[in-house]
Structure 1
Amino acid sequence: MTTYVLVPGFWLGGWAWRPVADALRTHGHEVHALSLTGMGERVHLARPDTDLEVHVTDVVNLLRYEDLTDVVLVGHSYAGAVVITAAADRMPDRVAKLVFVDTGPLPDGVSQSEFDEPDEQAANAAIVAEHGDGWRLPPPPWAEMGADLDPDILATLIERSVPQPWLTATTPVSLTGAWEKLPRLGILCGFTEEQARAMAAAPMFRHMADEQWRFEELPTWHWPMFTRPLDLAEILHSAGE
């Protein structure tokens, strides 16, 4: 049996992992699908000062208070880029492997928002100012996001996704390097392993260059927990063996 902690990216809560978590549990694994502060069923806890540090603490406290060890720590998108790396950096002795779902770890001192081009950063900041009370990034128009989604999945996304506290995107990640000893799996949805390794030449993606990495390609939408949940679960199951 393997212990998995599943951390969702922007706008989503632990609910987004349900089909993946259910499939992993059929293999006998222990699964914790975490809703970060202000997200999912914890949306009522969102505040203007909810930042990356709060979300990293969510993961650290789950590991500590549930006394979880040998964890496969899985992060999708934003959660992989900054949240799980920072949590593992603080508690590397409790983590067996890091899994990045269609994302990669950003280096110390870089924020999630810096992953975007300047024009997109400015556009998001304008949306936050005009439609998010100055501190929240509203969910995207899911129906226009380029995936042929099942109508029920689309309806669930529209109903359950919530605004992302903007400070979680603009707070730079703080890393000591303790996490770098951990093995890593990258699950690539929008690009190939060859492309991923080529990206490592850029300073922002330098942590994808070392020998700790293994990659799996899962050609699908950026949110594979909705489009190919069983395939994603099988990759995670294999990663935990």
Structure 2
Amino acid sequence: MTAFVLVSGNYTGGWVWQEVAERLRGSGAEVHPVTLTGMGEGGPPADAHTDLETHVEDLLRVIDAVREPQLVIVGHDYGIHPVLGAADRRPERISRIVYLDAGLPQDGDSVLATLRDPSVRERLLQRAERSADGRWIAPPPLDEQDVWGSMAGLTEPARQRLTTLAVPQPLGTFTGPLRLSGALAALPTSGIFCTAGGMSVALLQNMVRMGDPRLQPLADPRVGFFDLDTGHWPMLSRPAELAELLLRAAAGEGTRLVADERPDFHGPFLLDVEQRPRERVGTVDLYLPDVPADAAPRPAVILVHGGPVPAEARPTPRDWSIFTGYAGYLASQGVVGVTFDHRLHDIGDYGVAAEDVAAAVELVRADPRVDADRVALWFFSGGSLLSTPWLAAPPPWLRCLAATYPMLAPLPNWGFSDARFSPAAALAGAGELPIVLTRVELEFPELVPTVEKFLAAGKECGARVEVIDVPLGHHGFETIDHTEPAREAVRRAVASVLGHLGSLDTA
């Protein structure tokens, strides 16, 4: 028989697992939903010293009391921190760890340190300051999805249960560091993604292929993954399906990731573009058109790559065939094509990446071969969040803004709410700025709602948005889908951008 130890996320206790536990027991499993110290009725009361270590000790007592040899321990959201701390000290008792819509905390990480948005951390600490003795973080309103995660799939009664039964979190459980010895490395693991939050097996596979060393262990054959089409609280929204996935995880099932395949975006560009020399200035590459040396300055199109891209990735994005292909094609059409590397290596890096975009723009516009009054910015994938300030207050020299298979809102599970990177909210300031948006039919499902939200906002404020669709196109279609509709989409997008830059005959 398999025994499950179930540990829920912040502000909740063992009650949240009630329906899942009933279904697991119905299958013959032994189930232990845990209410950690200070986390509600049924758990020990908290005191001034309650911290993450207290919750680790809570789980150690549960583990030591379980007699079944096959023990699967499940950590949801915050719960993965004490789960990992306890499993690290009892690795011989654990047959599998299940990450349920949870992060990958490492040795020394506190919960607050893993929050990527400083404004979220600040709000949580302010709640603690307002508590009676400064030791508790009151549950935030359920509409703060950067804290609670996606609420997709929850019925109104389920939302009411969360509202009614959520309890303040002891501050020390968020500020104390996780201590790991490395014993976890030998344990089989499973991951369950709640896809409404913005992550899926397909997206993770794409990230692993980029070469991020932090993610390479996830391609271990002992690691399996599942998708569950719901929000961040599947034990309330999809308890039957979650119970089934937990049983499958315990049996070692799940999708395995592949780390050694060549990433799709390193394939050849879909158009036959003649190779041409580029001029490299720091992190910026300029692809210059074939014009006489005394020709008037030419318009420029600056390509902003997506991400996050690991800092160790080689080649860097400006050398990816997607961007060298676009830049070369733009140069063949008589404008300056520009690629560059920015520092979007992690979700928390959007601020420094925005600075890099601004610096690249300044460098390009200062080049005497560039018409500083006729520039277009073209954003791709996750880099499209960087379009926000340019949409909010477009300068007169910005003649067009393009976005291809874009992410146009932070994903719910990022815990990220920085208004500087919300393109839909910025659209009201775009005025007459032409926007060329290329979307693919076979987009990652997690990104589709962000585009829909953007288009709805554009319709409401009357923004000038042109949509170019790629039938049966994939994310990164330029090196994946060598079809005539895909080629035509690239030609149309380039032609539209160039049209907004004005006649090249007068350049």
**When the two structures are superposed, what TM-score results if normalisation uses the length of structure 1?**
0.91
Give 1:65 deviation, angstroms. Answer: 2.8
* Stretches of 4+ aligned residues off by more than 6 angstroms: none
Instruction: Report what 2:234 is aligned to.
Output: 224
String of CA shifts for 1:17-76, please: whole Å, max 9, x gaps.
000000111101100001001112146712232100000011111111334532010010
Query: What is aligned with 1:167?
Result: 172
Code of the aligned partner of 1:181? A
Report if aligned partners of 1:5, 1:73 keep a CA contact under 8 Å in 2: yes
Aligned partners of 1:30, 1:236: CA distance in 2, in Å? 13
Q: Which residue of 2 aligns with 1:214?
A: 224
Distance 1:112 1:209 in 2: 25
Correspondence 1:73 to 2:83? no
Percent identity of equivalent pairs: 38
- Distance change in 2, residues 1:195/1:133 (3 Å): farther
Q: Which has the larger radius of gyration?
A: 2
Q: State the 1:201 CA deviation.
A: 2.2
Task: Indicate the SS of the match to 1:169.
Answer: helix
Tell me how many residue pairs correspond in the alignment: 239
Contact 1:76–1:103 under 8 Å retained in 2: yes
Q: How does 1:52-131 map to 2 (within 5 A)?
A: 52-80=52-80, 82-116=81-115, 117-131=117-131
2:16 counterpart residue number: 16
**Which range moves more in the overlay, 230-239 or 137-146?**
137-146
1:194 aligns with one of 197, 202, 206: 202
Amino acid at match of 1:104: G
One-letter amino acid of the counterpart of residue 154, structure 1 = R
Closer/same/farther in 2, CA of residues 100 and 152 from structure 1, 3 Å limit: same
* Structure with the higher fraction of residues in strand conformation: 2
Alignment match of 1:236 (pick from 237, 243, 246): 246
Relative to 1, partners in 2 of residues 1:87 and 1:207: Cα closer, same or farther, differing over 3 Å?
farther
Paired residue type of 2:127 = I
In 2: Cα distance, 1:194 partner to 1:90 partner: 32
2: distance between equivalents of 1:87 and 1:216? Answer: 24
Equivalents in 2 of 1:100, 1:132: separation in Å? Answer: 34
CA distance in 2, matches of 1:110, 1:39: 21
- Bigger relative contact order, structure 1 or 2 (CA pairs below 8 A, ≥6 apart): 1
Structure 2 Cα separation of the partners of residues 228 and 148 of structure 1 = 8
Q: Going by fraction, where is helix more abundant, 1 or 2?
A: 1
Q: Are the counterparts in 1 of residues 2 and 68 from structure 2 also a CA contact under 8 Å?
A: no
Separation (CA, whole Å) in 2 of partners of 1:144 and 1:123? 11
Gaps of 5+ in 2: 146-150, 252-507
Measure how far apart 1:158 and its partner are.
Answer: 1.5
Distance 2:213 2:169 in 1: 28
Separation (CA, whole Å) in 2 of partners of 1:143 and 1:155: 13
Of 210-219 and 86-95, deviating more is: 210-219
